[in-house]
């Protein structure tokens, strides 16, 4: 059954209008390409971290008390290192504070290397409805280049374990555009993923800003020194097209630039990001968005715990977005969706002129980069290839 969430009028997508994101920052080791808020820990402070999340929730007690939550997402890091008891504690605290209706999508990210049936069953009992498994690739060479500890067999086992534990909504992640990867290997990964029969799949190109990340991300350092090179853009685009075609033929429809799902089973949580929803974010490095307010928590686990345990909000930055910034975000995000964006309505809602954009849309349609359907501007596959450039022009 498709998870319950209202429909966003500007995109026509069923999407959480209010979601909660919980970040779990601990991993068994740090992957060389990772720029997420994650840290390798020999001993994960599971109970202490659960307590801190609940304490942060208390510190944010003025945020949307009693509001209905349409999706919860526990991401990381490696949340499947958190025992079900602690996941249950956190979900209980959310239920005490908000209305979490039956059918609410509750996702937990799991790594193939940290998954067993008892653990997955425990998550289900705690109320988790969906698992997102970080497969990334099935090919030994690609996994080795990404520094991932699991192999293709462990990835397949993790999905089978999720099924055995009763999960009927499972997503897997793939990465393409990895140094040394061929188009045929990217295609093979997509074929193997389709064979698993999961309901959802995210496929992202590996991107690393070698300049700004060189200090902390080993692969970015290697890139900046010229020791490795990512495939050229045209090869990455070819990989993306191959992946898209394999997934489409396998019954996974593209609904967002990098996301695919069986009918009705797109991510309600991520849809909040793409449709201007609100989300409360808790945990290390998490970024929340509530109306025009945007905040980001401490990226260091130690600083985060120190702040929360001293009764301080663990934020490292906070800003108020202007109406123009929110409009721009709505355009850039809405055009990522195959359902498209009601651009004229968005212009009206944010007080932006429609006429100059109308002319530009007509041109995009003539050039085969967009179409108009259901009153929305929808990018074509060719349009998605140049999504950022189109969004920038329409903003």
* DSSP H stretches of helix in 177-249: 183-196, 210-213, 218-224, 233-249
Helix/strand/coil for 386: coil
CB of residue 75 to ligand SF4, shortest distance in Å = 9
Rounded Cα–Cα distance for residues 137 and 175 (Å)? 7
Contacting positions for ligand SF4 (CB under 6 A): 27, 30-31, 34, 36, 38, 76-78, 111, 134
Which one, 171 or 338, has the nearer CB to ligand SF4?
171
Rounded Cα–Cα distance for residues 267 and 132 (Å)? 10
Contact in structure between 3 and 60 (CB atoms under 8 Å): no
Which one, 112 or 288, has the nearer CB to ligand SF4?
112
CB of residue 31 to ligand SF4, shortest distance in Å = 3
Which one, 8 or 173, has the nearer CB to ligand SF4?
173
CB of residue 133 to ligand SF4, shortest distance in Å = 11
Which one, 23 or 357, has the nearer CB to ligand SF4?
23
Question: Sign of torsion, CA 77 257 6 165?
Answer: negative
Which one, 34 or 377, has the nearer CB to ligand SF4?
34
CB of residue 36 to ligand SF4, shortest distance in Å = 5
Residue 279 has φ and ψ, to the nearest 5°, of -145, 135
Rounded Cα–Cα distance for residues 191 and 152 (Å)? 13
Q: Is the peptide bond before 356 cis (omega within 30 degrees of 0)?
A: no
DSSP designation for 299: S
CB of residue 118 to ligand SF4, shortest distance in Å = 21
CB of residue 248 to ligand SF4, shortest distance in Å = 27
Which one, 111 or 240, has the nearer CB to ligand SF4?
111
């Amino acid at each position: 059954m498709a998870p319950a969430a209202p429909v966003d009028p500007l995109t026509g997508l069923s999407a959480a209008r209010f979601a909660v994101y919980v970040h779990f920052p601990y991993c068994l080791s740090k992957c060389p390409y990772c720029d997420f808020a994650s840290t390798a820990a020999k001993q994960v402070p599971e109970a202490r971290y659960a307590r801190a999340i609940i304490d942060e929730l208390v510190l944010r007690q003025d945020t949307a008390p009693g509001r209905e939550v349409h999706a919860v997402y526990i991401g990381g890091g490696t949340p499947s290192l958190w025992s079900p008891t602690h996941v249950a504690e956190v979900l209980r605290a959310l239920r005490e504070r908000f209305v979490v209706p039956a059918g609410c999508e509750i996702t937990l990210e799991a790594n193939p290397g940290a998954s067993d049936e008892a653990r997955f069953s425990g998550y289900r009992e705690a109320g988790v409805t969906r698992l997102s498994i970080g497969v990334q690739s099935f090919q030994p060479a690609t996994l080795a280049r990404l520094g991932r500890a699991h192999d293709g067999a462990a990835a397949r086992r993790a999905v089978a374990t999720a099924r055995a534990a009763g999960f009927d909504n499972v997503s897997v992640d793939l990465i393409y555009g990895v140094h040394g990867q061929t188009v045929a290997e990217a295609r093979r990964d997509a074929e193997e993923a389709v064979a698993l029969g999961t309901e959802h799949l995210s496929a992202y190109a590996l991107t690393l800003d070698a300049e700004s990340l060189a200090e902390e991300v080993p692969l970015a350092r290697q890139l900046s020194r010229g020791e490795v090179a990512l495939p050229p853009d045209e090869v990455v685009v070819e990989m993306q097209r191959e992946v898209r075609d394999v997934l489409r033929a396998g019954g996974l429809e593209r609904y967002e630039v990098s996301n695919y799902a069986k009918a009705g089973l797109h991510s309600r949580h991520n849809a909040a990001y793409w449709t201007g929803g609100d989300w409360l974010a808790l945990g290390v490095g998490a970024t929340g968005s509530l109306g025009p307010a945007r905040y980001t928590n401490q990226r260091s686990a130690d600083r985060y715990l120190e702040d929360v345990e001293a009764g301080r909000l663990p934020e490292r930055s906070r800003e108020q977005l202007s109406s123009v910034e929110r409009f721009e975000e709505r355009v850039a995000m809405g055009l990522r969706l195959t359902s498209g964006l009601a651009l004229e309505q968005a212009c009206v809602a944010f007080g932006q002129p429609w006429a100059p954009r109308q002319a530009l849309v007509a041109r995009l349609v003539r050039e085969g980069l967009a179409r108009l359907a259901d009153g929305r501007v929808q990018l074509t596959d060719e349009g998605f290839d140049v999504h950022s450039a189109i969004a920038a022009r329409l903003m």
